[in-house]
């Protein structure tokens, strides 16, 4: 995984953040590859963004709704217990619904999930998904 990603190493980059970002990126990649294919061009199941923006976040685009099932989200959340202060920002980016679904997603933290999914747009099997420890988002999240 580490060989395939673009690195954003500037003179001002925090070395600790960079090291943690790389380690978490690799660990999340190992989890996600069990459930699908990583592809930043909408031809896979997800895209784990491979650029470090210098903040304590990993960005994940979901192209296949099977990756928002509670068991997968819980695996990602559990990984954050080793990375205090980090979060995973998940956006729903299903290629065939880019024009007709609004922006939506999840913020996964080790202690909570902020749920901004609009399930009414999802197929029936995904409309009742619930996450343990989740809450609806607010304007301040």
Number of domains present in the structure of the chain: 1
Encode pLDDT of 52-75 as tens digits: 999 999 999 999 999 999 999 999
Question: What's the average model confidence in pLDDT over 6-29?
Answer: 81
Percent of residues, the chain, with pLDDT higher than 90: 82
Please give the full DSSP string across the chain, using - where no structure is assigned: -GGGS-----TT--HHHHHHHHHHHHHHHHHHTTTS-B-TTSSSSEEE-----SSSEEEEEESSGGGGSHHHHHHHHHHGGGSTT-EEEEEE--GGGTTTS---EEEEESS-EEE---GGGS-GGGTT---TTEEE--TT-
pLDDT band at residue 9 under the 50/70/90 scheme: very low
Domain membership of residue 51 (yes or no) is yes
Encode pLDDT of 92-135 as tens digits: 999 999 899 999 999 999 999 999 999 999 999 999 999 998 99
Range of the domain at 92: 13-131
Domain membership of residue 3 (yes or no) is no
Domain membership of residue 87 (yes or no) is yes
Domain membership of residue 85 (yes or no) is yes
Domain membership of residue 139 (yes or no) is no
Domain membership of residue 98 (yes or no) is yes
Does the structure show a pLDDT above 90 at 89?
Answer: yes
What is the pLDDT, as a whole number, of residue 5? 45
Domain membership of residue 138 (yes or no) is no
């Amino acid at each position: 995984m580490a060989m395939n990603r673009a690195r954003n190493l500037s003179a001002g980059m925090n070395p600790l953040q960079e090291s943690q970002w790389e380690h978490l990126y690799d660990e999340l990649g190992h989890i996600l590859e069990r459930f699908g294919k990583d592809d930043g061009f909408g031809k896979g199941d997800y895209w784990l963004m491979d650029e470090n923006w210098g903040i304590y976040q990993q960005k994940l685009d979901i192209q296949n709704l099977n990756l928002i099932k509670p068991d997968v989200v819980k695996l990602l959340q559990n990984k954050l217990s080793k990375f205090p202060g980090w979060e995973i920002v998940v956006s729903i980016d299903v290629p065939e619904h880019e024009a007709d679904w609004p922006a939506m997603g999840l913020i996964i933290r080790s202690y909570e999930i902020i749920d901004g999914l609009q399930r009414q747009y999802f197929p029936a099997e995904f409309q009742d998904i619930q996450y343990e420890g989740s809450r609806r988002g607010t304007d301040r999240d």
